[in-house]
Amino acid sequence: MRVGFVIIARMKSTRLPKKTTLKINGKEIISLMIERLKLSPLLDEIIVATSTNPDDGVLCELAEKNRVKCFKGSEDDVLERMYLAAKEFDLDYVVHVTGDCPLVSFDFIGKVIEEYKKTCADLITTFDLPHGFFLYGLKPEALKKVLEMKSQKDTEVWMRYFSDTRVFKIINLKTPEELKKPNFRLTLDYPEDFEFFKALFKGLGKNAHKKTTNEIITFLDKHPKIVEINEHCEAMYKKRWDAQNKAIKLK
């Protein structure tokens, strides 16, 4: 079974322009993320899936620099881009998150794959992990089916295409209680998020981006002042996400 990690990334963010190329310790956010994903021995490919917009060309350059694949597709149809990337690189299974999560839980990739092998679920989520750690596992066949069912071109937010159609098997992986931290925010959307990551990387020290999920959560438990830097941003993000989610239309 060929497993690929598909990183969805663009340069068009309005809240934090060019966020995936912002640097911490001299390395771009997306480069740190790629290095982290390479710690997993279970991935046959790591793919940066961006768009055909010339402004996004820098992301393909960074993919090449980090010796991973790049795919260029639709600017707004994230689901189509993900599916075509999976098809292009002959993937049997897709693990996915967006390119603004530099500390994504590489150590949970195996758990997602194991659950898929047991259940053949169309979509596997890890929503009980803090935002920025969680990831998705997707069957390419399920992505293809969604593309046939949806009526919108903009699929930046896409969860309801799976949950509301009632034709997909969805499993949310159980998370140990000590890792459930709903007030922790480890994704990059606002300037405060960038300040949070700079403080976190400084606190974690050398090779911060290679720490395990448990090590990072343990550190943040001991340093609540760092958590407070961007804690309030989650409510703003969720309000925007909810509005986009409600706007989804099904055929």
Query: What are the domain boundaries of the chain?
Result: 3-246
pLDDT (average), residues 155-164:
90
- For residues 86 and 83, what is the distance between their CA atoms, to the nearest angstrom? 5
pLDDT confidence of residue 241: 81
SS3 category, 57? helix
Distance of CA 125 to the CA centre of its chain: 11
pLDDT confidence of residue 251: 67
Mean of per-residue pLDDT scores for the chain: 95
pLDDT tens profile 12-43: 887 899 999 999 999 999 999 999 999 999 99
Q: Which CATH architecture has domain 3-246?
A: Alpha-Beta Complex (3.90)
Contact between 30 and 21 (Cβ < 8 Å): yes
Asked whether residue 47 carries a pLDDT value surpassing 90, the answer given is yes
pLDDT (average), residues 96-102:
97
| pLDDT confidence bin for 93, thresholds 50/70/90 | very high
pLDDT confidence of residue 166: 87
- For residues 98 and 28, what is the distance between their CA atoms, to the nearest angstrom? 15
CA-to-CA separations, 87 to 2, 15, 61, 108, 109, in angstroms, rounded: 11, 32, 21, 24, 20
pLDDT confidence of residue 239: 86
pTM metric for this prediction: 0.96
